[in-house]
Amino acid sequence: MSTIETDHPKILILGATGPTGRLIVSQALARGYDVTALVRSPEKAADLKGAKLIVGDARDEKVLRQALEGRDGVISALGTPASPFREVTMLSTATRALVNAMTAEHISRLVCITGIGAGDSAGHGGFLFDRLIFPLLLKKVYADKNRQEAIVRDSGLDWTLVRPSLLNNKAGDAPVRALTDLSGFHGGSIARAAVAAFVLDQLRQDRWLHQAPLITQ
């Protein structure tokens, strides 16, 4: 079963203290979901009222298995800072540990946020992003996002990869377009609130199962 059928899904959120992750937590709680968040810093997560907090490192398979207990599905909103000079491995390492933990706990539904610039969406971010921001600041981050996506694709889980266009903090009420054919698409932006709503919707539907839509508004 790839979708979560229950009206009140029990979900685990990774990356819950990031700007998009916080909105996923608040929207999930507003929908009546039972939310567990795995966080490194309980201080940063102090305002995530209503979510059960598990403190630990997302790269630790043992902690992940504890956080997954009784869950129906997982949303990964893990992010990592721009890193122009140092190699980045956190996203792929954590995702490999997550896949192993989900497999061990027999939990199949995974919705994982990566970003425009990952996989075959590279080169579709618009002039400024593609020519300046990506090569100068994000090349090593996106090398790891590509490794992350490959791990998800090979996981055997019921996965959806979600690639938001450039993120903003608008209200998010404009319609969301989800694209897998990117011919002619360059640039675009999307509200974090809209990304949160889209990824939560994926837990309950198969429309983008085993696909990697780019989402934009």
Whole-number pLDDT of residue 1: 53
Which CA distances in Å does 74 have to 98, 101, 129, 136, 168?
9, 11, 29, 32, 24
The rounded mean pLDDT for the chain is 95
- Residue 39 structure tokens: 């966080």
Whole-number pLDDT of residue 8: 87
- Is pLDDT at 47 greater than 70 in this prediction? yes
Which residue's structure tokens are 């994926």?
A: 202
8 Å CB contact between 187 and 138: no
Q: For residue range 83-133, list pLDDT tens digits in order.
A: 889 999 999 999 999 999 999 999 999 999 999 999 999 999 999 899 988
85 vs 35: which has the higher pLDDT? 35
Task: Give me the mean pLDDT over the 193-217 stretch.
Answer: 97
Q: What is the reported pTM?
A: 0.95
Nearest 10 degrees: CA dihedral of 208, 186, 165, 64?
Answer: 60
6 vs 73: which has the higher pLDDT? 73
Task: Give me the mean pLDDT over the 128-157 stretch.
Answer: 94
Least confident of 19-33, 129-143, 203-217: 129-143
